[in-house]
Chain A
Amino acid sequence: MTWLGIAALGVLLALPAVVSSYVLTILIFIFFYAFLGQAWNVVGGYAGQLSVGHAAFLGVGAYASAVLAQEVGLSPWLGMFVGGALAGALGAVIGYLGFRFGLRGFYFVLLTVAFAEVCRIVVNNVEAVGGAVGFYITFTGDPRQFQFRDNRAWYYVTLVLMLAATGIVALIERRRFGVYLAAIREDESAAEALGVDTLRYKMLAMIVSSFLTGVGGTFYACYLLSLQPNAVFGIPLSVEIIIRPIVGGSGTLLGPILGSFILTPLAEVSRYYLGQGGWHGAHLIAYGVLLVAVVLFLPEGAYPRLVRLVRARKRA
């Protein structure tokens, strides 16, 4: 397993030397969505608190870092942590309200959606950050401004993001924190009876998750160079964030990565080919069908299934 990991890493490091720019772009999005999925995984997967408002954290992180860079001249290298901290603070507020009042299941989903929508509407109406027109970042191509002319640089940036988030989750998973989160997901009352401060650990999970997602906002802003409130705070983006870890296997370390490797190219390629034929939206139909199929036939996600298949073959 270790050797497999090292080999995979080697391939990923060497890949930019051989693949086309188009493939590289797809890989960048694979890594970025894997990163976001991993961040969501902490609270949505491990702790089992289904947030469908994670776009809010991405948006807060993106706007904070972009506005600070454009208006104050703060480098996004620092701005990403400011954005992360602000997103973490928002996560703490949402988490406190939701967990303190014992909102579970659908109620928690709605609380997260509502906060994301409030952010979207508010930003749409704040002219200082561009309002509905959006906020634009001047392209300089200056690495100090977290901008790169070469796609290969972006490739490594997103690879590092993904690996860092995965490393953090791996650390969490092996510690008391991770075991407690799993216990909370499985049965909150039983966990509480066994000495787990469920409120505290759910809060921590929410803060870690929203902080990481907020950090990702800087990439979003600097790579795309434009922020549209309806896109960056929108529910569709939240769905994009959660769909990959769930398809891959939520609450597992490699699920979000696997999910992103499955879904991101699918989305990109079908968007490209179906979009060419004037079939706008067709790829999202495929997406929806896939989602339904996963729920019906692969509810635990692709990664746990893969692990079992491999184990069964080893035994045979």
Chain B
Amino acid sequence: MDLTLVAQGLLSGLLFGGVTSLMAVGLTLIFGVMRVVNFAHGDMMVWGMYLAWMLSSRAGIDPYLGFVVCAAALFVLGLGVQRGLVDRILDAPHEMQILLMLGVALVLENAALVAFGPEPARVRSSLTLPPLWLGPLFVDVARLITFVIAIALTVLLGLFLFRTAFGRRIRAAADNPYGALVVGTDVRRVYAVAFGIGAACVGAAGALVAPILPFQPTTGLGLSVASFNIVIIGGMGSLLGAFLGGLIVSIAESLGAVFLAPSMKELVSFGLLIVILLFRPAGLFGKRAA
């Protein structure tokens, strides 16, 4: 096995891992706070991609700027979904919550299909720079920019959650919804904002990944499943776990593509998931057991 190839796999996996992490952090935030699994997560992300595509093709706004708009739009969408739908079934059994979110996912995916058609789309960034070379390894600049912005956003989100009063309230609600209720937090507002932020994460992630990943309406399902894998591997409800899990899974898949075959790279993450589910269901960085 060529060592350069492995290193290249590691590197591109890491670079792609930035958006994967951001996506998983969004999912884990929603789950941690509401104990609701956002089955529409990937489809929300696809809408982030299409919004970036529209901004770029209609208004000439580069996705590396447009991601702010996408995040804001998805924040509103997430807030609306929480207020209008999720809020009503917070106490319902798991299967009902899962079905509701499946319904939302179906609507989002097929609305994209109706609006944009089934053909793969891709957003061109105007920042087309030649690849950088790190010795024998090459670094795709688009991937590098995507990675840097995604990591910056994740760090910003972390700062918000750990350093601001409202962020602390969100985390408190995640740790103990009843406790938060007792100390007088407006839990409904915290829930709506948390769902909004979770959706905004994929709004931004979608826009950022649009220049490096061709997409179509059906892309969302795979992304949803990928984010579920990551949060379980990292540890359900653990923000750090989602962040590191995103990097780990992305690198593992990238190496899987090198060692197995590109079409089998997901096998690595599913294999990893099954092993984690069986032997450490709390995840690599999670505290709570299943």
> Secondary structure of the B side of the interface?
helix
Cα A285 to Cα B113 with chains together (Å): 10
Asked if B277 is at the interface (CB within 8 A of a chain A CB), the reply is: yes
* Most A-side CB within 10 Å, residue of B106, B107, B217, B281: B106
Candidates B95, B236, B274, B281; contact of A246 at CB < 8 Å: B95
Q: Which residue of B lies closest to A118 (CB)?
A: B270
Neighbouring A residues of B94 by C-beta, 8 Å: 50, 105-106, 109
For A283, the closest partner residue in chain B by CB is B110
State in angstroms the CA–CA spacing of A124 and B270 once bound together: 15
**A102: B residues at CB distance < 8 A:** 281, 290
User: Hey, which chain A residues are within 8 Å of B109, CB to CB?
Assistant: 281, 284
- Whether A292 touches B100, Cβ cut-off 8 Å, given contacts A50-B94, A124-B263, A125-B263, is yes
Least Cβ–Cβ distance between B127 and chain A, in angstroms: 33
Is B215's CB within 8 Å of the partner chain A?
Answer: no
Nearest Cβ in chain B — how far from A115, in angstroms? Answer: 7
> Which residue of the partner chain B has the closest CB to A284?
B110
Chain B residues lying within 8 Å of A287, measured Cβ to Cβ, are 103, 106
Residue interface bits A106-137, CB-to-B below 8 A is 1, else 0 = 11011101110110011011000000100000
Q: A114-B274, A121-B264, A125-B261 are in contact. Are A50 and B95 (CB under 8 A)?
A: yes
Q: Is B96 engaged at the interface, CB distance under 8 Å to the other chain?
A: yes
**Which applies to chain A's interface (DSSP): helix, strand, loop or mixed?**
helix
Task: Tally chain B residues at the interface, Cβ within 8 Å.
Answer: 46
C-alpha gap A295/B107 in the complex (Å):
15
For residue B181, CB closer than 8 A to chain A, the reply is no
A114 in complex: contacting residue of B85, B261, B273, CB < 8 Å: B273
Is the beta-carbon distance between A239 and B102 smaller than 8 angstroms? yes
User: Does B130 sit within 8 A of A, measured CB to CB?
Assistant: no
Judged by a CB distance under 8 angstroms, whether B129 is at the interface is no
How far apart sit A121 and B217, CA to CA, in the bound complex (Å)? 20
Nearest chain B residue, comparing its CB with the CB of A110: B228
Assess the A50–B274 pair: CB atoms within 8 A: no
Q: What is the chain B residue whose CB lies nearest that of A122?
A: B267
CB < 8 Å neighbour of B103 from A124, A281, A289, A299: A289
CA gap between A109 and B274 in the complex, in Å: 12
- Please name the residue on chain A nearest to B221 by beta carbon: A235
In the assembled complex, B118 has its CB within 8 A of some CB on chain A: yes
**Contact yes or no, A114 B113, CB < 8 A:** no
A121 contacts B107, C-beta separation under 8 Å: no
- Across the interface, name the chain B residue whose C-beta is closest to A236: B221
C-alpha spacing A284/B99, complex, angstroms: 14
Q: A118's contact among B113, B263, B271, by CB below 8 Å, is which?
A: B271
* A103/B105 contact (C-beta < 8 A), A246-B95, A246-B99 known: no
Query: Which 5 interchain pairs have the tightest Cβ spacing?
Result: A288-B106, A291-B103, A281-B113, A281-B110, A288-B107
Q: Jot down 11 A-B pairs with beta carbons below 8 A, ordered by A.
A: A48-B95, A97-B278, A109-B94, A109-B98, A110-B228, A110-B229, A110-B273, A121-B264, A288-B102, A291-B100, A292-B103
Interface residues of B (CB under 8 A from A): 37, 85, 88-89, 92, 94-96, 98-100, 102-114, 117-118, 217, 221, 225, 228-229, 232, 236, 261, 263-264, 266-267, 270-271, 273-274, 277-278, 281, 290
Other A-B pairs beyond A111-B274, A289-B107, 16, CB < 8 Å = A48-B95, A50-B94, A101-B290, A102-B281, A103-B290, A105-B94, A107-B290, A114-B229, A239-B106, A246-B99, A280-B114, A281-B114, A285-B111, A291-B103, A295-B92, A295-B96
